[in-house]
Structure 1
Amino acid sequence: MSDTLGDRDSYARPSGVLHNNFDSDDADFVRQREADLTAARIAELRMGRGPHPTFDRDHLSKLHRFIFQDVYPWAGHMRNERFSVGDVTYEPVEFLTKGTTTFLAQSRFDYGFAEAIKDVPGNGDLGNDRETFAKVAGKMFGELNYVHPFREGNGRTQRAFVEDIARASGIELDLRVITRTRMTDASTATVADPDAPDMVSILRDAADPARHYALAKAYDSLRTQGLNPQAYNVEVAAEGQKIAGQRFAGNAALTGIIVSQNHLIVAPSRDVPVPDLAGKVSFVSSTPLKEALKAEYNRSVTQDLTPEELARRFNPKDRSIAEGNDVLTRAHDALERAIKTIDHELGVDHPKRDAAVANAAEMIRDNIEHGRGHSRDLPDHAVAHATGRPINRGYGIAR
């Protein structure tokens, strides 16, 4: 659903279609071109080809301009500006609505924007802690959505901004695991109440691979029953969360609870009591998700995934993903042994040390992909490849 105005819209052509780079009055054509072209630009952002992040108002404008540059001549301009592009003058937009939601008046825009980003440091680094990231960036996400700085394209720009903060904080964030319905519901909730926890919950789920796994299992259950996951608000329970509803489906590790018509919460099965005669349950989720998933996650990874998929899961910088997974645990053990040997052979300050470690990680990933073990001379090969030194068989690196 597009954002709309109640009065004359200087951003729109006489047909009602927003001014666009295609000089088109065909709304369906413009919508499709927008979807295709912005998807390509967002892919570029995720490859690090976007504007330099400064985590301020200018940063947000540059992200909007980058994402929508192929579609709209007014890309990068916020709705409290008066400006001209060609022979079109764009006036400030005082009130903007979507459905029954009305966003912040542009006359209060400066204050609202400052409040939204006040807890984000100038370098964007919130610390490599998922819960802290979820709480700070989630609150900012909700408040920034209420400000709604642009005439169109706010959601995609705000998500790109949050992804830049995640990268600066060392957090692996994947918002693609969140359904459209959940994002829409969270947007509505945080506009009505800036302290609503919905955006925090979204970022908590999007920043944790274990929660990605739990969501994927819930989506599989919905598809099995002929239902479209995108039509549901699906979340993973937080520790201490009170849950009441109808038991939907489950296994030894996870159970889905329908708490309203299209709202599904996934919780550890050990926390879910026996349903009453109507199939209803009421409980507090208390089991840590990783503990609940340990056996299930290990079974899935070691039995269901191909060696190629296992290799893709291996992240040298994040051992937590390997918890409960024998293959990846052995890989991280091998990497730690290799790093100790490399540091002994080269020294931690050697200019080729990091290259040797990267070589060792790549060799381990290759071993996983081809189902091989990790040999004791792996670090010797990694150092040799990085430095050009030959290997004396049985004696390690040649001096």
Structure 2
Amino acid sequence: MFDPFKDFETAGYLRNRFYEKNLDIVREIEHTMFRAGLDDAINYLSQRQQLTYSDFKEVHKILFFEFYPWAGKDRYEIAPNLAISKANTQFCHPLDLERAVVEGLKIGHDKKQMAKRPGEVMGYFAYGHPFLDGNGRTMLIIHSELCHRAGFCIDWQQTKKMEYLSALSKEIASPGNNHLDSYLSNFIVPSRDRLEWGGSIGQVKGLDGSHEQDLVEGEYSNKEVLSKYREFELNRNK
């Protein structure tokens, strides 16, 4: 059970507003909130001249604040000493998560580079993993906005969930080596009007939360946890 706050029995999954513990119900509510806030999030981003890390947090808040009172606050704010992983993939230290996302945004703001490296951009976002939940949905909307500004879009509905996640895991572990760029290149199509995004993004496979949970490895003050993180980071930067 992913329980970083260690109060699941009294506060429900991730301290949600309804104290809900049933994960099937939690995922259903999350996806309902996501669908309800999707148009507002897209409209918000369309009005931003240049996207920043603060916009990441604002989109997350728009999508999930009605369910999670901490929505819009990142791991550095609410879990600064916890090492988080998923399926043997280590996410970055909370101290570095903003820097990882900003690196992705830096590439994404260059239209030519975004067209060449959309997978690398997504990889940086995913490695940053700013939030305790809702990262995939938040990243997808912001990534779609960057693609739109670069003059193309990714037909996410045609991607295969497990193939995509496999390529994303490789991208996180070994950034800039074309793992996710190569996969996504098969689904690049001409840009679509933002008004069409709601239906297409909302139907992307896997966004209903039916996937492997995050794992709390422990606190970075634990030598074994810190050693495992450093080993992953070292291999990642080779």
Q: TM-score, normalised by structure 1?
A: 0.43
- Aligned pair partner of 1:143 in 124, 138, 152: 124
Give the Cα–Cα distance (whole angstroms) in 2 for the partners of residues 169 and 116 of structure 1: 14
The one-letter code sitting in structure 2 at the alignment partner of 1:198 is H
* Aligned counterpart, 1:168: 149
Contact 1:134 1:201 in 2 (8 A): no
Question: Equivalent of 1:182, from 163, 171, 177?
Answer: 163
Give me the whole-angstrom Cα distance separating, in 2, the residues matched to 1:197 and 1:11.
Answer: 38
Choose the corresponding residue for 2:44, options 12, 36, 50: 50
Query: 1:393: which partner in 2?
Result: none
Corresponding residue number in structure 2 for 1:13: 8
The within-5 A match list for 1:250-399 is none
Tell me by how many angstroms 1:25 deviates: 2.2
AA aligned opposite 1:156: R
**1:64 partnered with 2:60:** yes
Deviation, structure 1 residue 21 = 2.2
**Structure 2 portions without partners, runs of 5+:** 191-204, 207-238
Q: Which amino acid aligns with 1:171?
A: F
* Higher RCO (CA 8 Å, separation ≥ 6 residues): 2
After TM superposition, the structure 1 = structure 2 runs for residues 30-41 of structure 1, keeping only pairs within 5 Å, are 30-41=26-37
Change (3 A) 1:116 1:94: farther
In the alignment, which residue of structure 2 is the partner of 1:102? 90
Please list, as runs of the form range in 1=range in 2, the aligned pairs for 1:233-252 lying within 5 A after superposition: none
- Taking the aligned partners of 2:90 and 2:157, their CA distance within structure 1 comes to 26
In 1, the alpha carbon distance for the partners of 2:179 and 2:39 equals 26
The CA distance in 1 between the partners of 2:92 and 2:100, in whole Å, is 8
Q: Is the 8 A contact 1:24 1:30 kept in 2?
A: yes
Q: 2:111 aligns with which of 103, 120, 126?
A: 126
TM-superposition CA deviations, 1:270-296 (whole Å, max 9, x none): xxxxxxxxxxxxxxxxxxxxxxxxxxx
CA distance in 2, matches of 1:197, 1:57: 24
2 CA distance for matches of 1:176 and 1:41? Answer: 19
Pair 189,199 (structure 1): closer, same or farther in 2 beyond 3 Å? same
Distance 1:12 1:126 in 2: 44
In structure 2, do the counterparts of structure 1 residues 202 and 158 end up closer, same or farther at CA, with 3 Å as the change threshold? farther
TM-score, structure 2 normalization: 0.68
User: In the aligned structure 2, how far is the partner of 1:203 from the partner of 1:55?
Assistant: 22
Name the SS for the 1:108 alignment partner.
Answer: helix
- The one-letter code matched in structure 2 to 1:208 is V
CA contact (8 A) 1:79 1:149 kept: yes
What is the CA deviation profile of residues 43-72 of structure 1, one whole-angstrom value per residue up to 9, with x for unaligned ones? 554xx4334333110111111111212321
> How many positions carry a matched residue from both structures?
189
Structure 1 residues 167 and 147, CA gap change in structure 2 (3 angstroms): same
CA gap 1:115/1:167 in 2 versus in 1, 3 angstroms: closer
Q: Which has the larger radius of gyration?
A: 1
Relative to 1, partners in 2 of residues 1:44 and 1:111: Cα closer, same or farther, differing over 3 Å? Answer: closer
User: 1:140 deviation in Å?
Assistant: 1.4
What percent identity do the matched residue pairs reach? Answer: 24
- Structure 1 residue runs of 4 or more that deviate by more than 4 Å after TM superposition: none
* Distance in 2 separating the partners of 1:11 and 1:167: 40
Query: Aligned in 2, Cα 1:60/1:170: closer, same or farther, shift over 3 Å?
Result: same
Question: 1-side partners of 2:152 and 2:6: how far apart?
Answer: 37
**RMSD of aligned residue pairs (Cα, Å):** 2.7
**2:223 paired residue number:** none
- Deviation of 1:181 after TM superposition, in Å, equals 1.0
2:29 aligns to what SS in structure 1? helix
CA change 1:164–1:153 in 2 (3 A) is same
